[in-house]
Amino acid sequence: MSSGNKLGREGEALAAAWLGKEGYEILERNWRSGHSEIDLIARKEDVIVFVEVKTRKNADFGFPEDSVDAAKEKSLARGARDYLEKNKLDNEIRFDIISIIKAAGRVPEIYHIPDAFFPKNA
């Protein structure tokens, strides 16, 4: 596994644990539909939350969340639509980003950005 993939998986595990502590129920990890992948799908109360996790070793080239562009938002929206249809759900939904800076030898910095974006038509 490349160091980037390893860092990404570590970030997803940190994000899932953090969400759990905050009262979210993790429904899915790395859920795929077609070309769409959603890192985490969680529920808090009746809201289904589609979470994109971005992890970097530092912020030298920008914050992790800055890498979520319009194409990624569109892909997440398609995946969310597919997930809701497949599971016959009609819940309120939200798209969040969890941004993590995981520098060697330091406590990871975890930032949760609720309602990070509102995708347009997918």
Residues 63-72 pLDDT 10s: 999 999 999 9
Residue 108 inside a domain? The answer is yes
pLDDT for 120 equals 64
Range of the domain at 27: 3-113
Answer yes or no: is 41 within a domain: yes
CATH code (residue 31): 3.40.1350.10
The band of 61, judged by pLDDT with boundaries at 50, 70 and 90, is: confident
Residue 95, in any domain of the structure: yes
- Listed residue (58, 71, 70) closest to 99, CA to CA: 58
Structurally, the chain folds into a number of domains equal to 1
Query: Is residue 80 situated within a structural domain?
Result: yes
120 occurs within a structural domain = no
Assigned domain for 122 exists: no
User: Per the domain annotation, does 71 fall within a domain?
Assistant: yes
Kindly tell me if the per-residue pLDDT of 1 is higher than 80.
no
Q: Is 59 a residue whose pLDDT tops 90? A: no
How many Å apart are CA 79 and CA 83, to the nearest integer? 6
Which tokens hold the place of 62? 């920008």
In contact, 75 and 29? CB cutoff 8 Å: no
Q: How confident is the model over 3-53, as pLDDT tens digits?
A: 668 899 999 999 999 999 999 999 999 999 989 999 999 999 999 999 999
pLDDT at 121: 55
119 is a domain residue: no
Taking all residues of the chain, what is their mean pLDDT, rounded to a whole number? 93
